Chains A and B, each alone.
Chain A
Amino acid sequence: MNRFRFRATAIALAIGLGASLAFAAGSASAQKYPNKPIKLVVPWKPGGGTDRSMRLFAPYLSKILGVPVNILNISGGGGWVAWAQMTKWDPVKDDHTIGIVNFPHMLSYLNPKMKNKNNLKSFNFLTGHSLDPCIWGVREGDPRFSTLTQFIKYVVDHPGEITISVGGFGSDDHQAVAFAEKFIPGFKVKKTFGNNDAKKLQELYGKTVDAVGGNVSYFVPHMLEGKLRTLAVLDHERSTYLPNTPTFNEASGVKNFNFAARIFAAAPGLAPVKKKLLIAAIQKAIDSPDYSVREIKNHNTLAKLDGEKLDTFLNGLAATVGKVKFWDLPK
């Protein structure tokens, strides 16, 4: 018994000592900002795209800020458990906490059913991190279609036959399909919901569905594997990773733009000096050659958008989502 207690105390002491040493190493003088570890909130469970990208990013940001940057996963409510906290962060107490807000996911507050009182103004956005365009894909070698034009024609000619796997209701991928249904006459597809990117591809390869909506970074490796055929990129320009895949607009004449964007945010009302410092540090970290090369290998598209440009971008996005009103669309 006694031996056990002694051992437990010794272990506890060792852990405590180790932790305090780690903290001591992390903190610099009290006047400087930042003077303690930065918490970086990822609003999803470990394993998703944002989580992967932030875990890759944290060491580079840490090098520039001179303090450790620790990832904190706060998942739930389609991101809103974390985002609701971000709107309430204290400018003094939480000045060492930053987080990621995902778009268009965050715009789910526009859906009146969510009864969410927050809006874009509730957040203190710092700068953009990345912008991953949406993409439509089909099985490589599908005899029915290999281009977007053929796909649209097939859907219009065969009503009720084609199914697209689009992830969650209201996701960027679902909104892109909803937009197409609204603006391309006769275009009507069945949609399977609730799938993450992995399950979408499982359904596509297993021939349960005919097409998938997703994002460039996740789908490019599957195209390179020779299994997925990319029909169109839902962006203003072609993706550098897919020079042979046309934009949706090029192929169909319909301006269907959608993407998954990640934007950094800090405590509302954070002192302007600190905000400026954070923005500069984040952008410098994004620009580190080693980091950007690693992100390019992952087919991610980095996008540093800040100040007025960021505001215009987000307001424009909110206006589009408010116009399409995906929550009112028939399934």
Chain B
Amino acid sequence: MFIEETFSYLGNIITIENFLAMLLGVTIGLVIGAIPGLSPPMAIALLIPISFEFNPATALILMVSCYAAGIYGGSFSAILLRTPGTSASAASAIEGYELTRTGQAVMAIKVSTFASVVGGIISGFVLLFLSRSLAQVALWFGPAEYFLIAMLGLTAIASVSFGSVTKGLISGLFGLCISTVGVDQFSSFPRFTFDWIGLQAGIGILPAIIGLFAFAQGLELCAGQAHGNISGLKTLSWNIWPRLSEMWQIKWSLMRGWICGLVVGIIPAAGGSIAQWIAYAWEIRRAKPGDNFGKGEVKGLAATEGSNNGVTGTSLIPMFVLGIPGGISAAVILGALSIHGLQPGLRLFKNNPEVIYTIMWGFIGANVIMAFVAIIMARTFAYLTLVPRGVLGPLIILFSIVGVYAGSNNVYDIWIMIAFGVLGYFMEKYNFSTAGVLLGLVLGPIAEEGLRNLLIISDAAPVSFIMGRPVSLVIVFCIVVILSFTFTRKRKEKAQTEGKSVDD
């Protein structure tokens, strides 16, 4: 009955306006997402006035299409230039760019498009059919769970810092430390700001990510030889359509990515920037001999790309059903809904089912359209990998500066970005993990806020409080399993290498 009713709204998306809204949303999302600094929420906000006179369903289809595509667009630049366009695509910069560097850019595009599009579609169907039952899951997460999720995320540092774990931990700790800069939400005391207004807001993830990845990459390219290009190729292949046989080989990696995305997406305020790292770390832990993690492993890319788009549909669930937007993009979409006189919640499902289900079908449709637009756009974008390094390096530096300013309109963020860029350049040089810094910076505030609120509500007795919360216990269990697994593996590796050296 419910399924029949839901399907009856599928026809609504097949109108010229809705199709054009999907196409426009997807195109704008892909372009803005690909430019470091310009983020999906900003693209969606810019579309609000355009959609003023549209009917509500078409207007919202435009927004959700832009959101889905914006997350994917960020991966183009991450994979092809190591300059992630959004924070949700930072993890893809690692394996993706290594693939580009070894001349496999087109393969990387194929994998990422397949993982993203199918992830988005699955996420869309979960949104369509399960949103009302899954919305309650969002309410299981209180301060204790957020603190523990952040801890779970931090365990990823050990996996994603290739080489020395100690150096990875140092990077992670550094990230955690600088995440405390800025006005403290619990006392409104300006911490470590040295009376400089630029630091009052804290260190933004946007300037940090652009600095650590994009600007550092620009410096790296400028420092090396000016001739030659990053891909080492003269021409790019036109073999751009993913073949099922190729994707079948990485099916489990894709699955793990999608599952991570779907689950983390439902948790408000967690989102793509956490899901990708959990998926990536999970993938690395499942590594088999012969896998090339950190040096261009397709499986790693499949997991990160699957997860960040797997998030998109489910992250809209708490917003549509409970009126609780899980992130900035969802909040902007909620704003757009209310501008059209609609308030999210169960009343919307009851009173305007045609609107809400048309939007959801539009989201799925947008993901299908995205497959075609994205792959052609990515292929075109890939020409950049043929540009001589001496041209590309300065271009990336220029774009990083313009992008940060365009994204935040805040001059201080440019300085913060440059500082991170120089830091990132030297960290790469001495094999410190920039991903570790980023994880610390992203997870630090979640962990801090969670812990401090946990201490308040539990009257400073967090352990007994956690014992009484099943979801917390599940997360604790995951952390323990991961840590023990990581340490036993590291010990094995160590024993192996020591054994080898004895043999020699």
Partner of B268, one of A71, A76, A80, A202: A202
Partner of A225, one of B186, B325, B346: B346
Closest chain B CB from A291 CB (angstroms): 11
A222, CB-defined interface residue at 8 Å: yes
A192, CB-defined interface residue at 8 Å: yes
Most buried by B among A81, A168, A331: A81
Interface string of B447-459 (1 = CB under 8 A from A): 0010011001101
Taking CB atoms, residues of chain B closer than 8 Å to A78 are 183, 188, 200-201
Interface string of B406-433 (1 = CB under 8 A from A): 0011101000000000000000000000
**A160 x B459 contact (CB < 8 A):** yes
B332, CB-defined interface residue at 8 Å: yes
B140, CB-defined interface residue at 8 Å: yes
Given contact pairs A192-B453, A225-B323, A169 touches B185 in the complex (Cβ within 8 A): yes
Query: Which A158-204 residues sit within 8 Å CB-CB of chain B?
Result: 160, 163, 168-170, 190-194, 198-199, 201-203
Interface string of B311-333 (1 = CB under 8 A from A): 00000001000111110110110
Interface string of B174-194 (1 = CB under 8 A from A): 000000000111111110000
Query: Which A275-317 residues sit within 8 Å CB-CB of chain B?
Result: 294, 297-298
Q: Report the separation of the CA atoms of residues A107 and B452 in the bound assembly, to the nearest whole angstrom.
A: 25
Given contact pairs A52-B335, A113-B188, A192 touches B325 in the complex (Cβ within 8 A): no
B45, CB-defined interface residue at 8 Å: yes
**B386 x A114 contact (CB < 8 A):** no
Q: Report the separation of the CA atoms of residues A168 and B457 in the bound assembly, to the nearest whole angstrom.
A: 16
Q: How large is the interface on B (under 10, 10 to 19, 20 to 34, 35 or more residues)?
A: 35 or more
Say which one of A41-49, A236-244, A257-265 lies at the interface with B: A41-49
Say which one of B117-125, B287-295, B337-345 lies at the interface with A: B337-345
B485, CB-defined interface residue at 8 Å: no
**A47 x B143 contact (CB < 8 A):** no
Partner of B343, one of A51, A201, A221: A221
Interface string of A57-79 (1 = CB under 8 A from B): 01100000000000111111110
Closest chain B CB from A26 CB (angstroms): 14
Q: Report the separation of the CA atoms of residues A168 and B185 in the bound assembly, to the nearest whole angstrom.
A: 5
B224, CB-defined interface residue at 8 Å: no
Given contact pairs A51-B45, A55-B48, A203-B142, A208 touches B190 in the complex (Cβ within 8 A): no
Given contact pairs A55-B49, A113-B188, A198-B331, A81 touches B197 in the complex (Cβ within 8 A): yes
Interface string of A9-21 (1 = CB under 8 A from B): 0000000000000
Closest chain A CB from B353 CB (angstroms): 16
Closest chain B CB from A110 CB (angstroms): 11
Q: Report the separation of the CA atoms of residues A184 and B412 in the bound assembly, to the nearest whole angstrom.
A: 44
A209, CB-defined interface residue at 8 Å: yes
Q: Report the separation of the CA atoms of residues A221 and B346 in the bound assembly, to the nearest whole angstrom.
A: 11
B490, CB-defined interface residue at 8 Å: no
CB nearest to A200 among chain B residues: B324
B444, CB-defined interface residue at 8 Å: no
Taking CB atoms, residues of chain B closer than 8 Å to A194 are 185-186, 449, 452-453
A108, CB-defined interface residue at 8 Å: yes
**B339 x A115 contact (CB < 8 A):** no
**A297 x B341 contact (CB < 8 A):** yes
Closest chain A CB from B452 CB (angstroms): 7
**B185 x A77 contact (CB < 8 A):** no
Most buried by B among A78, A115, A170, A208: A208
Q: Report the separation of the CA atoms of residues A297 and B342 in the bound assembly, to the nearest whole angstrom.
A: 8
Q: Report the separation of the CA atoms of residues A115 and B188 in the bound assembly, to the nearest whole angstrom.
A: 12
Q: Report the separation of the CA atoms of residues A331 and B188 in the bound assembly, to the nearest whole angstrom.
A: 12
**A169 x B187 contact (CB < 8 A):** yes
Q: Report the separation of the CA atoms of residues A179 and B338 in the bound assembly, to the nearest whole angstrom.
A: 32
Closest chain A CB from B276 CB (angstroms): 21
Q: Report the separation of the CA atoms of residues A289 and B383 in the bound assembly, to the nearest whole angstrom.
A: 52
Partner of B335, one of A55, A75, A297: A55
A205, CB-defined interface residue at 8 Å: yes
**B386 x A224 contact (CB < 8 A):** no
**A205 x B345 contact (CB < 8 A):** no
Given contact pairs A46-B45, A78-B200, A225-B323, A115 touches B195 in the complex (Cβ within 8 A): yes
Taking CB atoms, residues of chain B closer than 8 Å to A297 are 338, 341
B141, CB-defined interface residue at 8 Å: yes
**A199 x B188 contact (CB < 8 A):** no
Taking CB atoms, residues of chain A closer than 8 Å to B372 are none
**A202 x B383 contact (CB < 8 A):** no
**B186 x A298 contact (CB < 8 A):** no
Q: Report the separation of the CA atoms of residues A168 and B339 in the bound assembly, to the nearest whole angstrom.
A: 26
Q: Report the separation of the CA atoms of residues A57 and B81 in the bound assembly, to the nearest whole angstrom.
A: 39
**A81 x B201 contact (CB < 8 A):** yes
CB nearest to B269 among chain A residues: A199
**B322 x A47 contact (CB < 8 A):** no
**A77 x B201 contact (CB < 8 A):** yes
Q: Report the separation of the CA atoms of residues A75 and B186 in the bound assembly, to the nearest whole angstrom.
A: 19
Interface string of A24-58 (1 = CB under 8 A from B): 00000000000000000000011110011001101
**A208 x B457 contact (CB < 8 A):** yes
A84, CB-defined interface residue at 8 Å: yes
A92, CB-defined interface residue at 8 Å: no
A253, CB-defined interface residue at 8 Å: no
Given contact pairs A198-B331, A205-B322, A74 touches B410 in the complex (Cβ within 8 A): yes
**A294 x B339 contact (CB < 8 A):** yes
**A58 x B456 contact (CB < 8 A):** no
**A77 x B343 contact (CB < 8 A):** no
Q: Report the separation of the CA atoms of residues A124 and B164 in the bound assembly, to the nearest whole angstrom.
A: 56
Taking CB atoms, residues of chain B closer than 8 Å to A74 are 408-410
**A81 x B412 contact (CB < 8 A):** yes
Closest chain B CB from A40 CB (angstroms): 12
Which 7 pairs of residues, A with B, have the shortest CB-CB distance? Answer: A76-B201, A47-B331, A77-B200, A208-B142, A52-B335, A206-B139, A194-B185
A-B residue pairs in contact (CB < 8 Å), sample of 9: A4-B383, A46-B41, A47-B325, A58-B49, A74-B408, A77-B183, A77-B197, A111-B188, A203-B142
Given contacts A74-B409, A170-B188, 4 further A-B contacts (CB under 8 A): A47-B335, A52-B338, A76-B410, A298-B339
